[in-house]
Structure formats: C-alpha cells, structure tokens
C-alpha cells in the first residue's frame, strides 16, 4: 500500500497527496472528496478502500487518519451537481480538497508536491499528478482519502436524515436501494435529490 | 421525428390542453424543457401538480398510445419534473404523473386521461 508513495519519494517528492471521492453514484446528497498527506506510515487501524471496511472500522480509521495526516476536504452540494454534472462536480470537490490541504502546508518549507488521484480523473492544478485505477486499494494515501471522504459524506447524510426523515438516508446514504426507491415513489423527491443523470 | 409527426404531436397537445382545462386542470407550463427531457404539460388539479405526458396516435395500428411511455421515458420525465419542482420551489406540494392519450382515427378524436400513470423514478 506504500509502493507509489515510496516510488515518488525516491524521485524526490516530499509531499505525496492521495485524493479520492465518495458519492458519485447516489441519487441524493453531495459529492465529497478528500486529499491526504500521510505524516506516518504505521496505523493501528486497517487503512484500505473505504468500501472494504465496515462503518465501525471506517469511524475508527477516520479518528486515526485525522491525527496522522494533513488533509483537506471538498464538499460539492447536489445544487451544484444539478448545475454542472457529477463528473465536473467530483473534479471540483477534489480540487477544493487539494487546495484546502495545500493551504495547510507550512509556506516556509521546500515543497515538492505530487498528486495521486483515484480513478481516471485529472485536475487542472499545476502540479505533477498520477491517476491510479483502484488507487484506494493500492495506495495508503488514497485509501485514507477514501475513508475521510466516505465518513464525512455519511455523517452529512445522517444529518440530512433528520431534515428529510421519509427516505432512510441514515441507512443507504442516498444510494439507490429498494427502500430508497420506494420512498421516492411514495413521497416524491426532496430538495437533496439530484436532477442529473449519472451517465457512468 | 418527421415534420408530419411533429405536427400531429403538437395538435395532440393542443387537444389535450383543452381537454384538461375542461376537466378542471389549470395549465402552468407547456413543453417544459430540461437537458434530458421535456414535459408536455405541467398542470394543477386542485392542490396537486400534474406532469402530463401527451401521446398522440393516428389510428391504433401501433398499439395504444398510453403504452408508449416506457421506463426510460419515465425516468427522464422524473428528472425533468424534479427540476421543475425545485426551480419553482414546489417540492412541498404533492405531485403526480398523468398521461393523456389522443387517438385520431377517421376524423374522430378520442381522448383518454390516465391519472397517476406512473411514479417518480430517479434511478440511473
């Protein structure tokens, strides 16, 4: 899980940023991205693709990650997703996460920054970047980013469940489960349902 | 769509509109366009917003017009309807999907209204 990190370090990069998102697929809610620079290699909790962990494992990992990394989080609401599209919204969330992280770095140190992005997405940031398919199970930095993004998004959806209690957001987080689909049929859509089609 | 089909569709929509008005519907919008789809008529019946799909056919050779609102079309209409509700701040109002079928045959017009023809489907 540190192959890419070590490779880039040996090439002289000292800040390797893992970037991933959560929430491209659901019918409702925001897309959340996170950018992470590991400050330590060793973690007590399992750090892996957020989809492979239980929600309890993710919560524990989350607490550890925010202690042992520099991170940024980008949240793009369904309102913006409606206006642009989910792919552009995902890129925007990733860019915001990366910029937030970069803002936390000490401006006096010499920075050789390299981005590693999960999937095939490219960001228009003027930094060297590597897109890694299934990066969340190949790189610890990207895996950490996937956990931060997922936990952050899930907590947002849990809050939305209180505002829109008819749909079961606390259970499915906005994904198209049977229960969710039935609720939309029964109650109609609500403010956080996306009007855009996810074409992928 | 051929020019003739388009003309047929439009005249069907005009007939449907008149029919809905006679049945107590208030017309709010016609041909409401979203990136994905178009809603023929948005109307109000009592307190309920109705998204009306008009299906016009000349004769019944290709089956009943109301049978032509397929699943994919239902999804497109759902997204367009959600867009309408959001942009007009009407999410708290009850809404439904109706289909008006217009059959033109041998100079006769047959209009049928199917209330609650299908339901919201926002899956991809």
Nearest residue on chain A to B86, alpha-carbon basis: A191
The size of chain B, in residues, is 124
B121 in contact with A at a CB cutoff of 8 Å? yes
User: Strands, E, within chain B: which ranges?
Assistant: 26-33, 38-45, 48-58, 95-105, 108-118
Residue labelled with tokens 């505002």: A163
A125 at interface of B, judged by CB pairs closer than 8 A: no
CATH pick for B3-117 out of 3.40.50.1360, 3.30.1490.20, 3.40.1350.10, 3.30.70.100: 3.40.1350.10
B34 lies within 8 A of chain A by CB: yes
Strand partners for A73: A34
DSSP 8-state symbol, A69: E
- Domains within chain A, CATH numbers bracketed: 3-187 (3.30.420.10)
Is residue A156 within 8 Å of A22, Cβ to Cβ? no
What is the predicted ipTM?
Answer: 0.78
Nearest CA in chain A to B87: A191
- Please report, for chain B, the start and end positions of each structural domain, with discontinuous segments joined by +: 3-117
Please answer whether residues A120 and A131 qualify as being in contact, where contact means their C-beta atoms are separated by less than 8 angstroms: yes
Pairwise CB contact (< 8 Å): A193 & B122: yes
Give the mean pLDDT per block of 10 residues along chain B (124 residues). Answer: 62 92 96 87 96 86 65 89 94 94 85 93 86
| CA distance to partner chain A, nearest, from residue B107 (Å) | 39
Per-position DSSP letters for A78-106, written without gaps between them = HHHHHHS-HHHHHHHHHHHHHHHHHHHS-
Per-residue pLDDT of chain A (200 residues; tens, 9 = 90+): 999 999 999 999 999 999 999 999 999 999 999 999 999 999 999 999 999 999 999 999 999 999 999 999 999 999 999 999 999 999 999 999 999 999 999 887 778 999 999 998 999 999 999 999 999 999 999 999 999 999 999 999 999 999 999 999 999 999 999 999 999 999 999 999 999 765 54
Asked if A185's CB is within 8 angstroms of B120's CB, the reply is yes
pLDDT tens digit string along A113-166?
999 999 989 999 999 999 999 999 999 999 999 999 999 999 999 999 999 999
């Amino acid at each position: 899980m540190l192959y890419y990190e070590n490779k880039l370090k040996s090439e002289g990069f000292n800040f390797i940023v893992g970037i991933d998102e959560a929430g491209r697929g659901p019918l409702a809610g925001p897309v959340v991205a996170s950018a992470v620079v590991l400050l330590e290699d060793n973690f007590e909790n399992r750090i892996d693709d957020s989809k492979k962990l239980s929600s309890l494992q993710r919560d524990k990992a989350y607490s550890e990650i925010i202690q042992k990394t520099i991170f940024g989080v980008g949240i793009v609401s369904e309102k913006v997703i409606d206006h642009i599209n989910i792919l552009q919204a995902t890129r925007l969330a990733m860019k915001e996460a990366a910029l937030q992280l970069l803002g936390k770095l000490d401006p006096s140190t010499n920075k050789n920054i390299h981005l590693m992005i999960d999937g095939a997405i490219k960001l228009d940031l003027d930094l060297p970047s590597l897109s890694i398919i299934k990066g969340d199970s190949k790189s610890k930095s990207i895996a950490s980013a996937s956990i931060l993004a997922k936990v952050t998004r899930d907590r947002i959806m849990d809050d939305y469940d209180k505002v829109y209690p008819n749909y079961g957001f606390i259970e499915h987080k906005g994904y198209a489960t049977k229960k969710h689909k039935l609720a939309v049929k029964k109650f109609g859509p609500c403010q956080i349902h996306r009007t855009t089609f996810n074409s992928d | 769509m051929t020019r003739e089909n388009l003309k047929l569709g439009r005249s069907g929509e005009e007939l449907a509109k008149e029919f809905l008005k006679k049945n107590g519907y208030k017309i709010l919008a016609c041909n409401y366009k979203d990136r994905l789809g178009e809603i023929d008529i948005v109307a109000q019946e009592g307190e309920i917003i109705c998204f009306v799909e008009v299906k016009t056919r000349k004769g019944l050779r290709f089956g009943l017009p109301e049978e032509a609102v397929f699943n994919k079309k239902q999804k497109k209409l759902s997204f367009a309807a959600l867009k309408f509700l959001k942009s007009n701040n009407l999410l708290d109002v009850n809404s439904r999907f109706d289909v008006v079928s217009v059959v033109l045959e041998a100079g006769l017009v047959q209009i049928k209204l199917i209330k609650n023809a299908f339901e919201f489907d926002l899956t991809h």
